[in-house]
C-alpha cells in the first residue's frame, strides 16, 4: 500500500494547529502522544457551542437549536461517528468507557487527566439535559435518513433535527439504563475534583435507573426508525439494566444495587446471556470484569461465582492460544470480530483484558483455558499491548490507524467535517449535496481529525483508505473511549515479559489453527 499519501509536517501543522506530528519507529511508540491525541479526538466530535478552550480549531459551533421546537434544551453532546446525528445509546456507552478509563487508569494520565475529565463532562452536561424531565429520556437528536443523505458539515447542517424520546408508555430501558451507567461511572471521576457535580450525576443516575427498570421495554419499538437499523439493540435491555446497577453499586456502595445485580444476573443468563460479548450493544463481559474485584455482599457472603467463571470464559474466548477462542485473527495478529468498525471490538476487548489482569494480579490468580493453557496477568497485559501496538503502526502495512499519529496514517476518513473545507477556509454555507464531490475525490481530507481511530483493516490486514468504504474508514467515539485507558496504562508501565515478543501473538494464533 505504498501509494498512500502522507501529509508533510508543514501541511499537518497548518491544518490542525493542535498537536505536533510524532514519527514512531517500528516497535516503538509514544504512548503519551497517542494518549493526548486519543482524547483530543473528542473535541472534533463535539456538538453545540464550543468553548474558548477548544483545541480542534477547524471545528465551529453547530446544532445550536437542538430541542428548541420541543421546548427543551438538547444542545451539546457528541456526534458518534462521521455523521451529524446524536445517538444517545452509543454516546452513553462511550461516556461510560471514558469514565472507566479514568477510574481505572487516571493516575497514569498525567496532564491529560484534565482533558479526559473535560471530554466526559461534555457528555454528562448533555445527559443531565436529556434526563431533566421526570419519566422522560431524550434518546436521539437528528433524523438519520435525512442526515445520511447529505454530505454536509455539522456547522451547516439543515436536515431535520428530529428529537426522539422514551417515556413510561413508550419505554426504552437500554438507552435509559446506559445513560444511568454513564452518569454513575462519571460521578466517580469527579468525586474528588468536583464533589457537588459528582453528587448531581449520581442522584440523576439513580433516578434514570429507576425509570429504566420500572418501565421496561426496548427503544427499538418506541422510537422505531430512529434507532434501527443504525443502532438497534440486538441483545435485549437486561444487560444494560444489570450494567447500570453494577456502576451504581460501584459509585454509591448502596446494597440495593448489589442485590439487584445478584437477583438479576441469572435472568440475564437465561434470556440473552453472551458472556463473551462486549460493546455498545452487549454489556455482558463488561459486567463480569467490572464486578470481579467487588467483595462479597452481606446478603451473599460467597459473592457471585458466576461473575468470575464467566470473566474467565471471556478471557479464554479471546486469547489466540486458547482452545475455546471464538474470534479470528488477521495474519498480522489483529483481533477480528466484526465486519464493520472492527476496531471497536479490538479496543473494548483489550481494555477488559487489561482491567482483568489487574484483578488477577491483586488476587494472585490465573486463568485456565482447558488443561494446557494457563494465562497469568502478564499474558493478558501482553495481549492488550499487542493490539494497541498494531493500531499505532506495528502491523504489516507499518501504518498507524490513529489519524495524526506516526508518519503514515489514514488520509481519507469517512467523516463529513474532516473531509469538507473548514468554515475558516470556506465561510459560505454548503448545502446538502454540495459536499458530494468531496466524498468522491481521491484528495486527502483537508482537516486532520487528530486522534481519530478508524474502523480498521480487513481480516487480511489490507486497508484501502477510501471514504466510501466506511466500514473501514469511519472513526467512532466508542473506538476511542476504551483506548484512552489502554494508552494511559502503557504510558506509565513498561512491558518486559516473555510474552511480548513481536511475533508471539501471530505464532500462538497459528499454533491453534
Range 49-60 burial, b when 16+ CB lie within 10 A, else e: ebeeebbbebbb
Residue 321 known to be catalytic? no
The residues that bridge with 138 in the sheet, in sequence order, are 165
Could you give the count of Cα atoms lying within 13 Å of 23 in the half-sphere of its Cβ? 6
Residue 465 known to be catalytic? yes
DSSP 15-75: HH-S---B---TT---HHHHHHHHHHHHHHTB-BS--TT-S-TT---B-TTTTGGGTS---
CB neighbours (10 Å) of residue 172?
Answer: 33
Residues 6+ apart with CB under 8 A from 276: 284, 285, 313, 314, 317, 318, 326
Residue 510 is placed in which grid cell?
A: 497459528
- Smallest CA-to-CA distance from 449 within 487, 411, 493, 497 is with 411
Residue with cell 506516526: 406
Q: How far is CA 432 from the centre of its chain?
A: 29
Most distant pair of Cα atoms in the chain: their distance: 66
> Given 474, 493, 501, 507, which residue is catalytic?
474
The residues that bridge with 165 in the sheet, in sequence order, are 138
Phi-psi region at 399: left, alpha or beta (left = phi > 0; alpha = psi -120 to 50) = beta
> Given 18, 414, 415, 461, which residue is catalytic?
414
Residue 474 known to be catalytic? yes
- Smallest CA-to-CA distance from 377 within 353, 396, 405 is with 353
SS3 78: strand
The residues that bridge with 183 in the sheet, in sequence order, are none
H or E element in which residue 165 lies: strand 163-167
> Given 465, 493, 507, 513, which residue is catalytic?
465
Measured CA to CA, the distance from residue 203 to residue 275 in angstroms comes to 30
Q: Tell the burial category of 70 from Cβ atoms under 10 Å away from its Cβ (0-12, 13-18, 19+).
A: middle
H or E element in which residue 87 lies: strand 86-87
Which residues are marked as active site? 414, 465, 474
Amino acid at each position: 500500500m505504498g501509494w498512500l499519501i502522507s501529509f508533510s509536517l508543514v501541511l499537518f501543522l497548518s491544518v490542525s494547529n493542535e498537536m505536533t506530528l510524532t514519527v514512531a519507529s517500528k516497535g516503538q511508540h509514544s504512548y503519551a502522544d497517542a494518549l493526548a491525541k486519543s482524547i483530543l479526538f473528542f473535541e472534533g466530535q463535539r456538538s453545540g457551542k464550543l468553548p474558548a478552550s477548544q483545541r480542534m480549531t477547524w471545528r465551529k459551533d453547530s446544532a445550536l437549536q437542538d430541542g428548541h421546537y420541543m421546548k427543551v434544551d438538547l444542545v451539546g453532546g457528541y456526534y458518534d461517528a462521521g455523521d451529524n446525528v446524536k445517538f444517545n445509546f452509543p454516546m452513553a456507552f462511550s461516556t461510560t468507557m471514558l469514565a472507566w478509563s479514568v477510574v481505572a487508569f487516571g493516575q497514569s494520565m498525567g496532564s491529560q487527566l484534565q482533558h479526559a475529565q473535560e471530554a466526559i463532562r461534555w457528555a454528562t452536561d448533555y445527559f443531565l439535559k436529556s434526563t431533566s424531565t421526570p419519566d422522560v429520556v431524550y434518546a436521539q437528536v437528528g433524523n438519520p435518513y435525512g442526515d445520511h443523505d447529505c454530505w454536509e458539515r455539522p456547522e451547516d447542517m439543515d436536515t431535520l433535527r428530529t428529537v426522539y424520546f422514551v417515556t413510561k408508555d413508550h419505554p426504552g430501558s437500554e438507552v435509559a439504563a446506559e445513560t444511568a451507567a454513564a452518569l454513575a461511572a462519571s460521578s466517580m471521576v469527579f468525586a474528588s475534583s468536583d464533589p457537588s457535580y459528582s453528587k448531581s450525576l449520581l442522584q440523576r443516575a439513580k433516578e434514570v435507573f429507576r425509570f429504566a427498570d420500572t418501565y421496561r421495554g426496548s427503544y427499538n419499538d418506541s422510537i422505531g426508525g430512529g434507532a434501527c437499523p443504525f443502532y438497534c439493540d440486538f441483545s435485549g435491555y437486561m444487560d444494560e439494566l444489570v450494567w447500570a446497577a453494577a456502576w451504581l453499586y460501584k459509585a454509591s456502595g448502596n446494597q440495593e444495587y448489589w442485590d439487584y445485580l445478584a437477583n438479576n444476573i441469572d435472568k440475564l443468563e437465561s434470556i440473552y446471556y453472551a458472556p463473551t460479548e462486549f460493546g455498545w450493544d452487549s454489556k455482558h463481559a463488561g459486567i463480569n470484569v467490572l464486578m470481579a474485584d467487588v467483595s462479597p455482599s452481606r446478603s451473599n457472603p460467597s459473592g457471585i461465582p458466576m461473575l468470575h467463571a464467566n470473566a474467565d470464559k471471556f478471557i479464554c474466548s479471546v486469547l489466540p492460544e486458547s482452545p475455546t477462542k471464538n474470534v479470528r485473527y488477521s495474519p498480522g495478529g489483529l483481533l477480528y470480530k466484526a465486519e464493520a468498525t472492527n476496531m471497536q471490538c479490538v479496543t473494548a476487548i483489550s481494555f477488559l483484558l487489561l482491567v482483568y489482569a489487574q484483578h488477577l494480579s491483586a488476587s494472585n490468580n490465573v486463568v485456565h483455558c482447558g488443561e494446557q493453557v494457563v494465562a497469568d496477568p502478564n499474558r493478558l497485559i501482553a495481549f492488550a499491548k499487542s493490539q494497541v501496538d498494531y493500531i499505532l503502526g506495528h502491523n504489516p502495512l507499518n501504518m498507524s490507524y490513529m489519524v495524526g499519529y506516526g508518519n503514515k496514517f489514514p488520509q481519507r476518513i469517512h467523516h463529513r467535517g474532516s473531509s469538507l473545507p473548514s468554515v475558516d477556509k470556506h465561510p459560505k454555507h454548503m448545502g446538502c449535496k454540495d459536499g458530494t464531490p468531496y466524498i468522491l475525490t481521491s484528495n486527502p481530507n483537508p482537516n486532520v481529525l487528530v486522534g481519530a481511530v478508524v474502523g480498521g483493516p480487513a481480516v487480511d490486514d489490507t486497508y484501502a483508505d477510501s471514504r466510501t468504504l466506511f466500514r473501514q474508514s469511519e472513526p467512532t467515539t466508542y473506538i476511542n473511549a476504551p483506548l484512552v485507558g489502554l494508552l494511559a496504562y502503557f504510558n506509565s508501565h513498561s512491558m518486559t515479559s516473555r510474552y511480548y515478543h513481536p511475533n508471539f501473538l501471530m505464532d500462538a494464533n497459528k499454533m491453534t489453527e
